[in-house]
Structure 1
Amino acid sequence: MKKSWLLLAALFVTLFAVSSSVIGAESNVEYHWSFKPSKNHEPASTEPLYAQLLQKYNGIYRGDITKKEVFLTFDNGYENGYTEKILDALKEKQVPATFFVTGHYLQSAPELIKRMVNEGHNVGNHSFHHPSLPAVDDERLKRELVSLEELYEEITGRKDMRFLRPPRGTFSERTLARSAELGYINVFWSLAYKDWETANQKGWKHAYNAVMKRIHPGAIVLLHSVSSDNAEALPKIIDDLRADGYTFKSLDELLIENGLLPQGYGEG
């Protein structure tokens, strides 16, 4: 009898261990976001596996490729003196954008964060300390995202931070799953260029040509706000894309249309 009880207990422990290892056991293989740039203004594409993972966890990297719509996003790791000029251009042209910010940015530029919100832009999560998310455990991942949204709420009084741009463009199925559980929609991109090297800026025409060459219907554009080239080129980019029939939409409009966000998201 005692032997049978011990066997049952051992079986229970084994089953519990197996079930525990399965729960939340998504792969943590690290991927580096990549995409095939647009040619002749045809839609950019990404690796089939990446597209499958984004579909599974409600991530996005482009909008409706049948519509001449553009979604502007800016990564703001730190303030380099150009965000105000970018905001001025967006305000003048009445164009919405999403700014993905870090903890350092929130701490060092709270007035710019308030301006973004007051002028109708989305502020997204770029993590507090900008680590590669696959390199940190679940607890650290949650802390990176939650601590940033708490500081954002302290500055703005809002609880509408629901877009995430994974730092360094690295991700795994695990990080997509954990961030989705926290209510985040991972936002990658289908148009970008090497614009973040502040000591290697090449003039506004370089930024303008890089965007105009790769533009396509439904493009989610990634620009870095530390770039003087981007700040200088932005007004002409907006004007010339509009002249070519493009309209500028916000990410929340896109996701409301797709049923990934409720009507009225971001209001109030």
Structure 2
Amino acid sequence: MAKTLKSLALATVMAALAAIIGWSVASAPASAHGTGPYHFGFKKSKNGSFPSIAEEGFMDIMKKHEAIFLGNTAQKELYLTFDNGYENGYTARILDVLKEKKVPAAFFVTGHFVRDQPELLKRMVLEGHLVGNHSWSHPDMTQLSAEQIKNELSKVEQEAEKVTGQLDMRFMRPPRGIFSERMLDICRRIGYTNVFWSIAYKDWDVKQQKGWSYAHDNVMKQLHPGAVILLHAVSEDNANALGKIIDDARKQGYAFKSLDQLSVKHYK
């Protein structure tokens, strides 16, 4: 898989930029730790169009450090990912739906989730899903030293391995989508592919849940070829909407794939 991921520089995405309008990436003041930090955000997709990159140089950073936020934009494929910072009672339901619908997903877990939910972690692996690294303590990783970044990631790896026996954890997602060029470089050098997203909405606030149809509509109106979908497993709305999202996406001709199915052939 390492060889496959090595060339995920998004060459197809670069070629597709003529058809892409621009992302919105709000940048924070530059720090002593290198370029950035940046807060990964975007102008949302509408009617099957691609989200857009507005910040000059942003695509160059993604390409240079082989980060993922899109799959094959020439195919109607979707990559479903969840952030699991803590458990709010809905991950088992999400896993039930994925099992019923035969859909693979990637779950990005923190140290808190690994320690608190070993049975759910085991189930993710046993049912064929990827477990990704979301850091041990969910910090702003752009403000950490190289050694601290390595410790944040290795602690999740080690504790997850004790629970699941899974040896190969090679995808990571920076907490809150905050990143810098330096941080991306450190993570890549220790063997991680940084994973962002191209579909998301404000679903993480458990006090602002608005019903399953709100979640469903927010995802469906953003669908586009090659989308990496970010959902938070703490959301009741997401858990209740997931089955219909999958069914309705398939009705539109979309297929759900696993992140480890991304291939260099997609980016030639």
Q: Is the 8 A contact 1:125 1:164 kept in 2?
A: yes
Q: Please, which of 150, 159, 171 is the counterpart of residue 163 of structure 1?
A: 171
What is the TM-score normalised by the length of structure 1? Answer: 0.85
Q: Does 1:245 align with 2:245?
A: no
- C-alpha RMSD over aligned residues: 1.4
**Structure 1 residue runs of 4 or more that deviate by more than 4 Å after TM superposition:** 255-259
Number of aligned residue pairs: 235
User: Is 1:196–2:225 an aligned residue pair?
Assistant: no
- For 1:237 and 1:220, the matched residues in 2 are separated by 14
Aligned counterpart in structure 1 of residue 41 of structure 2, from 34, 39, 45: 34
Deviation at 1:154, TM superposition (A): 1.0
Does the CA contact (< 8 Å) of 2:71 and 2:266 recur in 1? no
Give me the whole-angstrom Cα distance separating, in 2, the residues matched to 1:73 and 1:48. 27
For 1:76 and 1:85, the matched residues in 2 are separated by 14
Q: Which residue of 2 aligns with 1:117?
A: 125
Q: In 1, are the aligned partners of 2:84 and 2:233 still within 8 Å (CA)? A: yes
* Structure of higher CA gyration radius: 1
8 Å contact kept, 1:61–1:190:
yes
1:56-112 deviations in Å (ceiling 9; x for gaps): 111011111111000000000000000000000000000000000000000000100
Residues 82 and 232 of structure 2 are in contact (CA less than 8 Å); yes or no, is this contact kept in structure 1? yes
Picking from 240, 243, 249, the partner of 1:235 is 243
Q: Distance in 2 between matches of 1:256 and 1:154?
A: 32
Q: Please state whether the residue corresponding to 1:222 is helix, strand or coil.
A: strand
Unaligned stretches of 5+ residues in structure 1: 1-24, 260-268
2: distance between equivalents of 1:227 and 1:152?
A: 23
1:219 to 224, 227, 235: 227
- For residues 48 and 237 of structure 1, the distance between their equivalents in structure 2, rounded to whole angstroms, comes to 33
Stretches of structure 2 lacking an aligned partner (at least 5 in a row): 1-31
More helix by percentage: 1
How many angstroms apart in 1 are the aligned matches of 2:132 and 2:187? Answer: 13
* CA distance in 2: counterparts of 1:154 and 1:177, whole angstroms: 27
User: Which digits, 9 at most, give the CA deviation of each residue in 1:9-55, with x for residues without a partner?
Assistant: xxxxxxxxxxxxxxxx9824211101221122111233342221111
TM-score, normalised to structure 2, is 0.85
Q: Deviations over 1:153-177 (max 9, x none)?
A: 1111111110010001100011000
Q: Determine if contact 2:33/2:143 at 8 Å carries over to the other structure.
A: no
